[in-house]
A and B are shown apart, each in its own frame.
Chain A
Amino acid sequence: KQEVTQIPAALSVPEGENLVLNCSFTDSAIYNLQWFRQDPGKGLTSLLLIQSSQREQTSGRLNASLDKSSGRSTLYIAASQPGDSATYLCAVKGGSQGNLIFGKGTKLSVKP
């Protein structure tokens, strides 16, 4: 059964730092991996989707990498800002039915 783990559970950094969030999964047979952002009282916002054949995706200050064989993904945030404070969730799609398996998230706090 697919399991997704995110470490650390919480992270606090000063503004301007570059940071890396980690996601690992147990079964490498995935269709894709998505990174989401969740703000308090809000739904999830899709940040990046990496297909199983891809190694990385970039959007602005965000870069996500995927190493399927080792079951790992990282989300790199450059020059962090207080507005980046949120919970970041990683999810993998492991079957054709479209079931997303989520990690429990990393709560990021960027201090001014």
Chain B
Amino acid sequence: EAQVTQNPRYLITVTGKKLTVTCSQNMNHEYMSWYRQDPGLGLRQIYYSMNVEVTDKGDVPEGYKVSRKEKRNFPLILESPSPNQTSLYFCASSLGQLNQPQHFGDGTRLSIL
């Protein structure tokens, strides 16, 4: 089954403790991206990647890092999480970056205390 898989689905942690949210897709998609969804603000893009070893900032990249060493994986790294990064995070992928529909994972709910 074609899918985008995120782990973990839920995480409660404390300020400053490094964490990684993994994202994997099995559709051989070139384009992958991370979004956060917050009440009243909607979905905003954090980082995106157009292919292996090619990443760039989205609208809200501060406090996040990403890497794209393999085509199927695009982890989101929070080196020193803070409470304002408490949010619902989504990973998405598509075959290309232009006129292709994006496929989303089921989301990761992060709470930073």
- A: residues with CB less than 8 A from B are 31-32, 34, 36, 41-46, 49, 51, 89, 91, 93, 96-100, 102-105
A-B contacts counted at CB < 8 A amount to 64
Are B104 and A43 in touch, CB under 8 angstroms? Answer: yes
A-B contact pairs, 9 of them (CB 8 A): A41-B107, A42-B106, A43-B107, A44-B104, A46-B103, A97-B97, A98-B98, A100-B43, A105-B42
Q: Which residues of B contact A46 (CB under 8 A)?
A: 101-104
- B: residues with CB less than 8 A from A are 4, 31, 33, 40-45, 48, 50, 56, 58-59, 90, 92, 94, 97-107
Are A103 and B48 in touch, CB under 8 angstroms? Answer: no
Task: Give the contacting residue for A43; candidates B31, B40, B101, B106; CB below 8 A.
Answer: B106
Closest-by-CB residue of B relative to A98 is B97
Q: Once the chains are docked, how many angstroms separate the CA of A43 from the CA of B45? A: 15
Q: Which residues of A contact B106 (CB under 8 A)?
A: 41-43
Q: Which residues of B contact A31 (CB under 8 A)?
A: 98-99
Q: Which residues of A contact B107 (CB under 8 A)?
A: 41-43
Are A49 and B101 in touch, CB under 8 angstroms? Answer: yes
Q: Which residues of A contact B104 (CB under 8 A)?
A: 36, 43-46
Task: Give the contacting residue for A98; candidates B40, B50, B101; CB below 8 A.
Answer: B50
Are B42 and A104 in touch, CB under 8 angstroms? Answer: yes
Are A104 and B40 in touch, CB under 8 angstroms? Answer: yes
